[in-house]
């Protein structure tokens, strides 16, 4: 590699990394609790919750009755904060009324519901009150308030022809029916004119909500990956003009992994690798979580047979629970550091190591198992193999890290590409 000259493979690798590292911006739990009707020791009928930081409020609830009782109850959600609510917003007990729900349940029945930010706004203080006209009503309501990321702070954060509603923390194309065509009405829930206009062609709309367009990133990511492989191929060999780009990429990978036996390439002094792979949460910590996928970024500093590795690892998992949150996502973000050992075996280099890991959780999916605790310590090991492709390399590795302050661990498998310096 010539000093001072940008390497085309490095540019492609950076583009690949940036395209794949995007992930959903998760919601965070504010509290996990219960209110009761009538009040009893340790379970009041009214609770006031205050969150720190900014965010949009959402709420998951589960209302239920005992097997031998029925209830007709009302859940009232209010706020004392003057956040610029629309004129005419009802008031109760010197608070603004945000939402009200009435439930009629028979013996042993339950109802689950989610209240969205378009009702609960960005108010930092929420008051939940459970009441009933019938003094004999007995009921329990489990609640999980959630703080979701803001879509916008002002109009500059929104797309053209959209307006920021700071009270609701979202971008909207209409605030009232007057912002729509005469044949349309403004939906308060979505902030969009309904019915939406139809044109002769269609395209998937882009959302300003953080993480909303992540699922669509697969197409560009795949294209950038193909471009990266083509760069690798051009460095390794020249093929006939009629060969397709896909053929070049596939043959290059095959040549690197299954070429003629020989000595492994000399190890670089430092290397940077990026990869993706499956993730599995295990133990009591992971109850209700399904297997997921994640990304990994690895920086190594090394000598001939030993080195030091700094790892960033993430994962995303779907979860299911019997009480709020019923279906939600859990995301893991971890930073690990530890020594590595290397041993060449023909064209392959074996790698082993141990790590200390600091693991963080985002999202509400595991709150039933962990409470509001978000950070954990873990220790574990890494085993893998490295194939060299000129200045680049391909790594397959497996990792397991056991939590020190919780019952469970994180298992991961990654396929990584990278380059040495």
* Gyration radius of the chain's alpha carbons: 27
Q: Does domain 8-25+219-420 have CATH number 2.40.160.20?
A: yes
Q: Give the three-state DSSP class for 118.
A: helix
pTM above 0.75, yes or no: no
- Domain residue extents for the chain: 8-25+219-420, 28-148, 152-197
For position 244, what pLDDT does the model report? 41
Are the beta carbons of 224 and 15 closer than 8 angstroms? yes
Three-class HEC string of 326-370:
CEEEEEEEEEEEEEEEEEEECCEEEEEEEEEEEEEEEECCCHHHH
For position 282, what pLDDT does the model report? 94
Q: Is 232 left (phi over 0), alpha (psi -120 to 50) or beta?
A: alpha
Mean pLDDT of 351-377: 92
Q: Which CATH number fits domain 28-148: 3.40.50, 3.90.550, 2.60.120, 3.30.310?
A: 2.60.120
pLDDT at residue 241 is higher than 70: no
Kindly indicate the confidence band of residue 189, based on its pLDDT and cuts at 50, 70 and 90.
confident
Are the beta carbons of 105 and 139 closer than 8 angstroms? yes
Enumerate the β-bridge partners of residue 384.
351, 397
72: how many CB neighbours lie within 10 A of its CB? 13
Kindly indicate the confidence band of residue 337, based on its pLDDT and cuts at 50, 70 and 90.
very high
Kindly indicate the confidence band of residue 24, based on its pLDDT and cuts at 50, 70 and 90.
low
Helices (H), 74-188: 117-120
Per residue in 33-59, pLDDT tens? 999 988 888 899 999 999 888 899 999
**Six token digits for residue 304:** 């001939």
Per residue in 192-218, pLDDT tens? 888 876 544 444 444 444 444 444 444
Are the beta carbons of 73 and 111 closer than 8 angstroms? no
């Amino acid at each position: 590699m010539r000093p001072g000259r940008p390497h085309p493979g490095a540019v492609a690798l950076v583009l690949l990394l940036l395209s794949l590292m995007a992930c959903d911006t998760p919601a965070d739990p504010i509290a996990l609790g219960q209110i009761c009707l009538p009040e009893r020791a340790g379970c009041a009928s009214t609770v006031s919750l205050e969150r720190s930081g900014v965010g949009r409020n959402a709420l998951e609830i589960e209302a239920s009755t005992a097997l031998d009782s029925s209830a007709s109850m009302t859940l009232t959600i209010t706020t004392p904060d003057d956040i610029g609510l629309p004129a005419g917003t009802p008031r109760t007990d010197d608070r603004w009324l945000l939402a009200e729900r009435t439930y009629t349940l028979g013996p042993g029945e339950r109802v689950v519901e989610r209240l969205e930010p378009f009702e609960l706004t960005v108010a930092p203080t929420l008051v939940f009150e459970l009441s009933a006209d019938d003094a004999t009503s007995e009921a329990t309501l489990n609640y999980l308030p959630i703080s979701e990321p803001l879509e916008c702070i002002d109009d500059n954060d929104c797309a053209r022809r959209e307006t920021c509603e700071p009270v609701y923390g979202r971008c909207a194309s209409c605030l009232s029916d007057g912002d729509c065509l005469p044949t349309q009405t403004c939906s308060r829930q979505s902030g969009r004119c309904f019915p939406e206009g139809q044109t002769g062609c269609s395209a998937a709309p882009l959302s300003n909500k953080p993480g909303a367009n992540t699922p669509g990133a697969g197409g560009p990511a795949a294209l950038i990956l193909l471009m990266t492989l083509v760069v690798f191929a051009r460095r390794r060999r020249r093929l006939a003009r009629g060969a397709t780009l896909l053929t070049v990429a596939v043959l290059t990978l095959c040549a690197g992994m299954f070429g003629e036996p020989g000595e492994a390439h000399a190890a670089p002094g430092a290397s940077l690798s990026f990869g993706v792979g499956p993730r599995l949460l295990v133990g009591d910590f992971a109850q209700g979580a399904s297997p997921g996928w994640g990304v990994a970024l690895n920086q190594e500093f090394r000598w001939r047979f030993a080195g030091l590795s700094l790892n960033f690892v993430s994962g995303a998992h779907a979860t299911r629970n019997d009480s709020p949150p019923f279906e939600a996502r859990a995301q893991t973000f971890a930073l690990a550091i530890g020594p590595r050992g290397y041993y060449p075996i023909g064209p392959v280099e074996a790698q082993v190591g141990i790590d200390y890991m600091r693991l963080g959780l985002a999202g509400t999916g595991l709150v039933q198992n962990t409470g509001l605790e978000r950070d954990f310590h873990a220790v574990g090991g890494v085993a893998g193999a490295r194939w060299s492709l000129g200045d680049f390399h391909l790594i397959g590795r497996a990792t397991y890290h056991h939590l020190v302050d919780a019952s469970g661990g994180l298992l991961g498998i990654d396929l990584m590409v990278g380059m040495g310096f």
